[in-house]
Structure 1
Amino acid sequence: MSENDNSVNIHSEKNRYHHGDLRTALIDEGLKLINAGRADALSLREIARNAGVSATAVYRHFPDKAALLGALCLEGHVRMAGAFERAMASAAPGVEAFSAMGRAYVRFALAHPALFRLMMAQTTGPVPAPPPLAGAGTGADSMQMLVNAIDGLFGADTPPAAREARRLQAWSLVHGLAMLMLDGQVPADPALVDAVVDARIL
């Protein structure tokens, strides 16, 4: 490769990402790759190649694979939160809102299986118990939104131990159904999701 070739590559790379969107482009490429396979098969070099940049450019944003996986996990939670918000937009607070969110949870998992598994693997420890409805709204963390919706079912006067048990029961319902469908134990049938995810049974 000649010196001129190097100059063209560097110039092209700077032109493509002169607005500072390389990090976003790398995350988008990572999401495409894990949607087509498994997160543990991700290659930073392959992502760089697909994005049309050098491996060095990738390492400026993500020093290693773990850093990229963490960024993909965070992006997954943002997207799941968006799915929750859209599902709840026309639902009444309480039972209807949780049912809508629960169905969105399962559908997100089915639509993005590798990303969903990554998100669950990257979650460490229990989700903290916030005050009811704290932190809700656009941009809220998806797991925080789920906790808020569950707490909203039972009210602030429910004893903490009972609220925690019910929270786990509700999360187990949607997460268990998602995993059963992802693992092929039950059919990934949208009608079955609608029938099973019903907060009135809690």
Structure 2
Amino acid sequence: MWGGGIYEDDAFYDACDELGLMVWQDFLFACAAYPEEQPLRGEVEAEARDNVVRLMSHPSLVLWNGNNENLWGFRDWDWEEPLAGDSWGEGYYLGLLPRIVAELDPTRPYTAGSPWSGSWDHHPNDPATAPTTPGRCGTGGTTPTTGRPCRASAPSSAGRPRRRSPRCAGRSPGGVRPDSPACCTTRRPRTATAN
């Protein structure tokens, strides 16, 4: 689930559990600098704790991810000079969030960001040092991290009726027009029955 989106409701994760779909869950930080001072820091911590506790029982959740492109953005998108030493979120991704996950959901992996190469010793988007994504299919149809067979992918959403996403009601953030295909989501599939 993309860091610029929402934490989905329980029905989404229940459906993923039932269908055997794997969910990579970003914490809600994407493509921007976020101050680490109070009062925002307290709200970030409370939101993270609430959602880790709420979602940790779902077997479909395979990874917690600190952010979408913020570590990379700091390195390559010229944020350093305008920030002039101000906080920008690094303390969340490399400190607060991994501590919360380790405390509340210690059996599930956490990565600081997407992309992230494990430390500032390497470029965040360095493919030679990027950690392997848990559950990603490797050669021979097995996951590189477990060696277990990959699950079949979900059926295509082609032909399913589309509905307007609530985030696109009226004016949409990020300049996405409400009539854009980006503002549509597919309806959740009905539970399949065995023949």
TM score, norm. by length of structure 2 = 0.29
Larger radius of gyration: 1
Q: Comparing both structures, which one devotes a greater share of its residues to strand? A: 2
Q: Comparing both structures, which one devotes a greater share of its residues to helix? A: 1
TM score, norm. by length of structure 1 = 0.28
